[in-house]
């Protein structure tokens, strides 16, 4: 572990402008129970960060499935000023709370993110997801529709709209939303078969038509 840490620090020393180096070392420290040592690295990365760099968001996003909630909260408290300015870090931390079914905390962060920039669609998509996890179907539909009002070409928004509509028993509208989702992003259809929200749709011919078709076996030539 000491050699690994030394290598991470050497990478930063060799190229301090390479922001992923700071992210890697911060994540290394967090994974090893050393959250409190991450602070100076955030400050150091600020000297070289570009406008699109968001170290805090990257850390929360990368560690979403593994970071302990208490460690995430300690990091958020230590980087409170940074968190206040980052829409995307708020959303990434919200995902950590949602993972642990702390939905109220997640929604508070998502709401704050939506207020930072009312033109960004992602907070409303995340809000719809959390409402679906809570079985709040009508609220999930409202959030998905809000996302579509900001971006009517969002395949994910139509997908979430379909999830809520299916749960509400509005099957025809759900299928129409899925058709729009697939039209905008054909690859999204691969999620349909395993989506529990679409359980009520699975026997419908219109739903089956939307599922990806299995690849046909390649024709073999006759042996010579």
pLDDT score of 141: 98
The pLDDT of residue 215: 62
pLDDT of the residue at 213: 78
216-to-212, 213, 220, 222, 224 alpha-carbon distances in Å:
12, 9, 12, 18, 24
Task: Name the stretches of the chain with pLDDT < 70.
Answer: 215-224
Q: Give CATH 1.25.40.10 domain extents, the chain.
A: 121-211
pTM of the model: 0.90
The correct CATH number of 1-93 out of 1.20.58, 2.60.40, 1.25.40, 1.10.287 is: 1.25.40
pLDDT attached to residue 223 = 43
Q: What is the architecture of the domain spanning 121-211?
A: Alpha Horseshoe (1.25)
H/E run at residue 111: helix 103-116
> How far is the first Cα of the chain from the last one, in angstroms, to the nearest whole number?
59
pLDDT of 217 reads: 54
Give CA–CA dist 169/163, Å, rounded. 10
At residue 128, the pLDDT reads 98
């Amino acid at each position: 572990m000491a050699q690994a840490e030394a290598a991470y620090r050497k990478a930063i020393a060799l190229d301090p402008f390479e922001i992923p180096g700071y992210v890697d070392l911060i994540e290394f420290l967090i994974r090893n129970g050393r959250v409190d040592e991450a602070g100076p690295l955030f400050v150091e990365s600020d000297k070289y960060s570009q406008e699109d760099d968001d170290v805090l968001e990257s850390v929360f996003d990368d560690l979403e499935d593994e970071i302990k909630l208490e460690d995430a909260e300690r990091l958020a408290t230590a980087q409170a000023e940074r968190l206040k300015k980052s829409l995307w870090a708020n959303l990434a931390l919200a995902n950590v709370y949602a993972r642990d079914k702390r939905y109220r905390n997640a929604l508070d962060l998502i709401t704050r993110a939506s207020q930072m920039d009312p033109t960004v669609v992602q907070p409303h998509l995340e809000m719809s997801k959390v409402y679906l996890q809570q079985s709040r179907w009508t609220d999930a539909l409202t959030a998905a529709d809000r996302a579509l009002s900001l971006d009517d070409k969002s395949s994910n928004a139509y997908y979430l709209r379909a999830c809520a509509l299916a749960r509400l028993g509005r099957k025809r509208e759900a299928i129409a939303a899925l058709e729009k989702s697939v039209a905008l992003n054909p690859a999204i259809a691969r999620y349909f078969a395993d989506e529990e929200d679409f359980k009520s749709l699975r026997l419908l011919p219109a739903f089956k038509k939307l599922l990806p078709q299995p690849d046909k076996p390649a024709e073999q030539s006759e042996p010579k």
